[in-house]
Structure 1
Amino acid sequence: MRFPKVFFLLILLIVSHIAKAQLNNRVLLQPVRVQEQNANDIRIAVQALGFLRNNEYFNKIADGYTLFGYQLNPRITYQPTKDVVIEAGALLWKDFGASGYEEIAPTFTVKVQRERWALLFGTLEGHLNHGYIEPLYDFERLILNRLENGIQYKLNTPRLRLDAWADWANMLYRGEDDQEQVNGGAAVAILLLEREGRGNLADSLYLTLPVQFTAQHKGGQIDASDLPLTTVANVAIGLELEKKYNRRVLHRLYTKNYMVGFKDFSNELQLPYEQGHGVYFNVGADTKYQDVMLSYWRGDGYISELGGKLYQSASTTFKHPDHLEEERELLILRLMKDVELEEGLTLTLRLEPLWDFNDPKLEFSSGFYLSFNTDFFLAKAKR
């Protein structure tokens, strides 16, 4: 599969079947809240995520394993004005069946929220909040890489959405046998067409152009490490088309098409491929009873350190670390359901069977996520 052919195929599919962006992870986002009515309040905020994710994978590219436990993030928040909030707390990550906690880490955020933009410093609205597609950003980072610390700028206008961020993943101190590591990127969505329906049963149509970018840098000038500098970038571009229905059963129809690219800009190459690409096609429906999406992936020499492991051409497994599959071809069916149990408490159920064309057999991933997000008044600050 050569890049010009892939590009031509994608253009044809975009023209005929225009795309929507990423999975609907809305109930798992848990953003930092800035509310005008809370000005001068001191509050207690609590975010909790219970997770059970079981990957029944038997291929040589992605490991099969189970994640089972919870993450708790209690915080004290102070909102000195109507558009600024300061939060301080801790993330506690517990895996069931393990002694102690996997991680106990401080969290601290300053967020300035204006009408159309927001600026965050400290612990970011990271992981799924960025809105990336899975070949660029792994869903499991919600659990395995929950905290991102750095700076983030978000813009939201009637025609444009932007999330630009930098996560300082590893600090380097003078003389350490290590490297500094910085992850970052931007996710942009430009609204090209909006057609709002009228009446109680009116349908709405939205056409959007998304552009997504991630980058990773490892290096430093004050380290004692022999490892060379590494700079890798991934990018995705497509079109989104969704039609919303105000009906009892059918809520939304959409299709998805993306062209995805990877490039290693390092002076000394360490990865098995210097560049790669892929196509990511989807079609889906949201209904009263069940959300369904069918995804097709075809990749050629594609690598993404932040992306989903199934989409890689290089193995991330424990038993087969040197295994390569330059061309990857997958078909994934996603069955999804969100159930609001109480206000602020949501149960998310997912089943994702997949077919690997290189190693034909049925594999699957299943997920159970209990998400809780609330805050309550503690005191008025004295000024």
Structure 2
Amino acid sequence: MAILTAIFTKTQAQTNTNSLESVYSYNRSKLGKVQFKFSSLAYVRNNEYFNNIADGYTLFGYYLNPKVAYQPHEKVSIELGGFARKEFGTAGFKEIQPTFTIQVKQNDWRFLFGNIEGNINHRMIEPLMSFERLVSAPLEHGAQIKYQKTTTLKNSNVSDEVFFDLWLDWQRSTSPGQTNQESFWNGLSFYSPALLVKGFKVKGLVQGSIYHAGGQNIQSALPVVTRVNTALGVRIQKDFLTNQSLVADNYYVGYYESPYRGTAYYLNGYWQHPKFQVGVSYWFGHFFYAPMGNDLFQSYSRKFNSQGYYEPYRSILILRLVKDWKIIDGLNISLRAEPHYDVQNGKFEHSEGLYVKYQLH
């Protein structure tokens, strides 16, 4: 069904995004001391799309997030900072916001309140959450519970990571008498412990999200909206040679919004080499919709001049090419190209991006 790109223990269903994820660190020597932390991302992403579902455009810019951190206790950390995002070709900054996070750690569990570890850190499949949110929606506000633990499988030297992420991203607030709706996005991402079966590592993958827009006693003619998305999958991974793997990730994906329903199959195969990644993905969706998902996978158009347009079936074959460089500790560069063939419409399209991430912690 799919033959896909290799992935280490920290992986996603499309390609490995470790080099661009936020890195959590705990240093006992920093206890009771004020620390300076800093993260930034410079990016250029070009989408060359010519269909009636998704717009083509280019995103080019950077964002900065300097922070001051303090650990009053070995289980508690507090961060306060500022966020600024600049898009080239526009005057001033596109976004300026304060950031604040309080984090409580208990063994391998972490609870975050304030600015949470969002976008690609959720490790959601792209039909449910677009990779592009890394640059278009880098900040998420709310609460989050995370669990990450890497162990060695019994009677072997094979390492495995269990991953759990439950979050609430509060996107917009309202109050009685206002005309705007409140909206939030609640999600779950879970990678189960693996089983070793005749040299193959097998694990279950569960993802889901709820998007809700509404509110009580507000003056809005818009209907209350609740959209539910689910994804159930299985990963089969075979490691070989030195730091190389073949991985197959296959998902059954769902969409529900009374009275509408949609389903999809998302099949992925990867080979990960220490110097690059190569992957193939196939998507077949029927009346599918996910509010935070990549536009290409949707049955209902998001194009600015195609409101009301839809395609009952979406069939897409994607080639994924990734090259990552680690320049120094904390500084990573990722080059990504994703040409695809829109089977239903007989179109070849493509997107590519260059991302430079720096994190001081």
What TM-score, normalized to structure 2?
Answer: 0.91
SS of equivalent to 1:328: strand
What displacement does 1:195 show? 7.2
User: How many residue pairs align between the two structures?
Assistant: 343
Q: CA deviation at 1:29?
A: 1.1
Q: Distance in 1 between matches of 2:25 and 2:301?
A: 39
Cα pair 1:256 1:282 within 8 Å, conserved: yes
Q: Which residue of 2 aligns with 1:100?
A: 92
What is the aligned counterpart of 2:27 among 35, 38, 61?
A: 35
CA contact (8 A) 2:314 2:344 kept: yes
Q: Deviations over 1:71-95 (max 9, x none)?
A: 1110010111222110011110000
8 A Cα contact 1:21 1:256, kept in partner? no
Q: 2:254 aligns with which of 236, 249, 261?
A: 261
Distance 1:257 1:123 in 2: 32
**Cα root mean square deviation, aligned:** 1.9
Deviation at 1:297, TM superposition (A): 0.3
SS of the residue 1:80 aligns to: strand
Deviation at residue 363 of structure 1 after TM alignment? 0.8
DSSP-derived class of the 2:336 partner: strand
1:246 deviation in Å? 4.5
Q: Does 1:351 pair with 2:345?
A: no
Q: Is the 8 A contact 1:35 1:83 kept in 2?
A: no
Of the three residues 334, 338, 342, the one matched with 2:328 is 342
Query: Are the equivalent residues in 2 in contact too, given 1:31–1:129 (CA < 8 A)?
Result: no
Contact 1:21 1:240 in 2 (8 A): no
Q: Which of 149, 163, 166 is residue 164 of structure 1 equivalent to?
A: 166
Q: Name the structure 1 match of 2:269.
A: 283
Question: What CA distance in whole angstroms lies between the structure 2 residues aligned with 1:192 and 1:74?
Answer: 38
| Stretch deviating more after TM superposition (75-84 or 346-355) | 75-84
Q: Summarize the alignment of residues 154-193 of structure 1 with structure 2, pairs less than 5 Å apart.
A: 154-157=146-149, 160-193=162-195
Distance in 1, Cα, partners of 2:50 & 2:108 = 46
Aligned position for 1:366: 352
Q: What residue is the counterpart of 2:158 in the other structure?
A: none
Instruction: State the percentage of identical aligned residues.
Output: 36
CA distance in 1, matches of 2:203, 2:128: 19
After superposition, where does 1:216-255 map in structure 2 within 5 Å?
216-247=211-242, 251-255=244-248
Instruction: Check the 8 A contact 1:32/1:125 in 2, yes or no.
Output: no
Q: Which residue pairs with 2:132 in the alignment?
A: 140
CA deviations over 1:155-192 (Å, ceiling 9, x no partner): 23557421000011101122110101011111111124
Q: Deviations over 1:205-247 (max 9, x none)?
A: 4211011001011111131111121111000001011223342
Q: Deviations over 1:110-129 (max 9, x none)?
A: 01122121100000011111
Query: Contact between 1:36 and 1:83, CA under 8 Å: does it hold in 2?
Result: no
CA gap 1:156/1:32 in 2 versus in 1, 3 angstroms: closer
* Counterpart residue type for residue 177 of structure 2: G
8 Å CA contact retained: 1:69, 1:94: yes
Cα shift at 1:290: 2.1
SS of the residue aligned with 1:37?
helix
Partner of 2:156: none
What are the superposed Cα offsets for residues 90-146 of structure 1, whole Å, 9 maximum, x if unpaired?
Answer: 110000111000100111000112212110000001111111000111111111111
Structure 1: how far apart are the matches of 2:226 and 2:164? Answer: 23
Deviation at 1:33, TM superposition (A): 3.3
**1:210 alignment partner, one of 198, 205, 213:** 205
1:172 is aligned with what amino acid? T
User: Which of residues 67, 77, 82 is equivalent to 1:85?
Assistant: 77
Bigger Rg over Cα: 1
Is the 1:345–1:372 contact (alpha carbons within 8 Å) kept by the matching residues of 2? yes
- Give SS of 1:339's match: strand
2:301 aligns with 315
Letter in 2 for 1:215: I
Gaps of 5+ in 1: 1-12, 197-203, 376-383
Q: CA deviation at 1:321?
A: 2.0
In the alignment, residue 105 of structure 1 is paired with which amino acid? Q
Counterpart pick for 1:130 among 122, 131, 144? 122
How far apart are residue 21 of structure 1 and its match?
Answer: 4.6
- Distance in 2 (CA, whole Å) between partners of 1:122 and 1:321 is 35
Contact 1:34 1:85 in 2 (8 A): no
Shift of 1:32: 4.3
Contact 1:21–1:210 (CA under 8 A) maintained in structure 2: no
Query: Contact 2:275 / 2:324 at 8 angstroms: preserved in 1?
Result: no
Query: Is the Cα contact below 8 Å between 1:280 and 1:295 reproduced in 2?
Result: yes
